Amino acid sequence: MMRLLRFIYRKINKNEPPYYYYYSVWRIIVKPIRKYFNVVVIPNIPFANLRIFMYRCCGYKIGKNVFIGMKCYLDDMCYDKITIEDNVGISYGVYFACHGQRQGEHTPITIKKGAHIGMRATLISGKKGIVIGENSMVGAGALVNKDVPENSVVVGVPAKIISKV
């Protein structure tokens, strides 16, 4: 069935079909369910431990003693590219994006031990990915699109280093 669809696409459009033409039927069924849970259900769970457990069930790599606030959006297309290490605090409404228009492949976001991400911050991985260093702080509302060195505080749009801790 899928081969027939790809064949028809090639005949009509005279080029290769997009990546989703190669998805299995199982993936076509499961992907919207995972997306619904990741975008609608999990961010609204009022219990932090249950919220983190559900994120882990979706495939995110989350360490021990981590807090993730409500209404956070972890990129549902790249659950394997987001790594959150131990003792990290992520405040309310933080947005993680591992992909973008004309970016090509999806790139990783890594948050190292002891880091804290302020309320409504946005982390965009760009073409090379980003790393938030150990014991760093990202201010509320900041737009992080480059690596943050360890033991530093960044704020603003785009985020700039204002001090070293």
Q: Which residues are catalytic?
A: 99
- The answer to whether the beta carbons of residues 75 and 95 sit under 8 Å apart is no
Q: How far apart are CA 137 and CA 112, in angstroms?
A: 11
| Residue written as token pair 């591992």 | 98
Phi, psi of 130 (to 5 degrees): -135, 155
- What CA–CA distance (Å, rounded) separates 67 from 2? 42
Beta bridge partners of 73: 95
Give the ranges where the chain is alpha helix by DSSP (H): 2-13, 25-36, 48-57
Question: Using CA atoms, how far apart are residues 88 and 136, in angstroms rounded to an integer?
Answer: 10
Q: Do the beta carbons of residue 112 and residue 85 sit within 8 Å?
A: yes
Helix (H, G, I), strand (E, B) or coil at 55: helix
